[in-house]
Amino acid sequence: MISDKLKKIAAAKAEIAALEKSIATELNSELAALPGKYGFSTVKAFAKAVKAAVGGTGKVSSGAKAQATRGKNRTRAVITDAIRGAVKKLVEEGKSGAAIANELKISLPSVQNIKKALGLVKARK
């Protein structure tokens, strides 16, 4: 009974793998045909036109950038006394935590941890 279910699972996994391979092959074929579909003789000319259409900056949107970095290891910020001092100064100037994080290129949780360590947060009631 269990072995039959396990066989069905294995068969389903094999079918999924075959479908994924088929989709990848179709996608590659469609991508390869795009330059010709839009009247370009070379991939290089097509890529140049696409780059020009998005402003030629070559920059990736923030959503795509987030998706691209997902799963990659990020470097941890080294919190120095200078950063702690800068956080304190910016808090005293009335800047928000998010604004401080953006300005100092550290994460919002790091800002919150520094503020807590320096006693700059109000106690919850």
Is 101 within a domain?
yes
C-alpha–C-alpha distance, residues 113 and 42, integer Å: 53
* 85 in the same domain as 51: no
Is 65 within a domain?
no
Q: What is the mean pLDDT of residues 65-86?
A: 75
Q: Which residue range forms the structural domain that includes residue 15?
A: 2-56
* 42 in the same domain as 86: no
* 45 in the same domain as 9: yes
Report which of 65, 35, 33, 31 is spatially closest to residue 47, judged by C-alpha positions. 35
* 49 in the same domain as 13: yes
Predicted confidence at residue 16, as pLDDT, reads 95
Domains of the chain: total: 2
Is 73 within a domain?
no
Is 52 within a domain?
yes
Q: Does residue 2 surpass a pLDDT of 80?
A: yes
Q: What is the mean pLDDT of residues 4-15?
A: 93
* 44 in the same domain as 90: no
Q: What is the mean pLDDT of residues 29-43?
A: 88
Q: Does residue 68 surpass a pLDDT of 90?
A: no
Region at 55 (left for phi over 0; alpha for psi -120 to 50; beta for the rest): left
Is 50 within a domain?
yes
Predicted confidence at residue 60, as pLDDT, reads 57
Q: Per residue in 10-39, is it b (16+ CB within 10 Å) or e — as a string?
A: eeeeeeeeeeeeeeeeeeeeeeeeebeeee
Predicted confidence at residue 43, as pLDDT, reads 87
* 49 in the same domain as 94: no
Phi, psi of 4 (to 5 degrees): -65, -40
Is 43 within a domain?
yes
Is 18 within a domain?
yes
